[in-house]
Amino acid sequence: MSSINSVFYADSYHPIQAGSIDGTDIAPHDNAIYRAHLCSSFGLYDPHGDPKVIGDPYCTLFVGHLSHFTTEDTLQQAMSKYGRVKNLRLVRHIVTGASRGYAFVEFETEKEMRRAYQDAHHSFLDDSEIIVDYNRQQLMQGWIPRRLGGGLGGKKESGQLRFGGRERPFRAPLRPIPFDELKKLGIPPPPVGRYLSRSQVPSPPRREKHSVSQEICSHGSSKDQGDYIHRRSSIEEKAGMEEEYHYRQSSNRKSSVEKDDKYSSYETREDHRQKNLRDRDHRSHQRRSTDEDRDPKRSKRHSRDRKDRSHDEHKSKKQRNEERQSFSRDNGSDY
């Protein structure tokens, strides 16, 4: 396979890389790319913040290059050839209500979406050759829409071509690849030695294997989905009841143990209080004994002082009684 026909596709979106024909540019070459790079760097665009975006992204298909005469009914009729259409949204102008030329079609299963992805590309609808792609808005990391300077594809007349998508893939680089500069900017380098040919169709991203939504989507009809959900909910309810039963049993055991501990803790507190009283008396007795052993003269002096004070108090009391009696005798002699 010659390098001229070798191409590769973008797994994640980077505005500077999308503006490069071979995916090796390290600087924006127009104002729209610079604007998209600012939106990407500062997180100004939320791909999951659009309330109109509903449904399973792995079962949703993007349809572009639609004729302005195409309506929801004609589009659903055309897409029904590839599978059961669950939901369809034709994007219209917010003021005039005219078609913007693209739509999102959700199928019942991922298998039907992949069938339409393979067969509906470059088919004709209302004399217009349409293109189809997977839902890059929700499934492609770093996606920036066209209105903010990003997107994919475009016309040559606009001068704002975007590469890396299904319609305009990257070409294999003919010049040296600046790996260090690309790494600093967070741009994935070209897959050297693993290029594809233009006839090879890139596969849409697949759902995670251990996802519950994949199990629900894998069931064919809505009735099967309802039965599956009912069985799953009954199993979860049974498991919840068993868990509640074990929880109650453990709670009862815990409450009985706490009741036994309550009485033992009461006895322990009473014993602890009695022990504290005994320790306090013992410490006070030790303190007095220690003071006497430490300074016996001081203890004798204190005892002698106490005796003197009691003798003085007794003496003064006796003197006061004698004075009171002499005063009463003196007053009685005057009458």
Is the CB of residue 239 less than 8 Å from the CB of residue 247?
no
Instruction: Report the pLDDT value the prediction gives residue 250, as an integer from 0 to 100.
Output: 59
Give pLDDT < 50 ranges for the chain. Answer: 212, 215, 219, 257, 259, 262-266, 333-335
Max distance between CA atoms of the chain, in angstroms, equals 156
Dist CA 106 CA 140 (whole Å): 17
Instruction: Report the pLDDT value the prediction gives residue 210, as an integer from 0 to 100.
Output: 59
Flag whether the pTM goes above 0.75. Answer: no
Dist CA 163 CA 231 (whole Å): 46
3-class secondary structure, 61: strand
Taking only the tens place, the pLDDT of each residue in 181-217 is: 999 999 999 998 899 998 888 889 998 875 545 545 5
Q: What's the start-to-end Cα distance of the chain, in Å? A: 156
Taking only the tens place, the pLDDT of each residue in 129-173 is: 999 999 999 999 999 999 999 999 988 877 789 999 999 999 999
Pairing state between β 99-107 and 128-129? unpaired
Instruction: Report the pLDDT value the prediction gives residue 334, as an integer from 0 to 100.
Output: 41
Dist CA 87 CA 112 (whole Å): 13
Q: Kind and range of the H or E element at 40?
A: helix 31-41
Instruction: Report the pLDDT value the prediction gives residue 49, as an integer from 0 to 100.
Output: 85
Dist CA 109 CA 244 (whole Å): 37
3-class secondary structure, 90: strand
Q: State the amino acid at position 18 in one-letter form.
A: A
Instruction: Report the pLDDT value the prediction gives residue 335, as an integer from 0 to 100.
Output: 35
Closest CA to 193 of 174, 207, 212, 172: 172
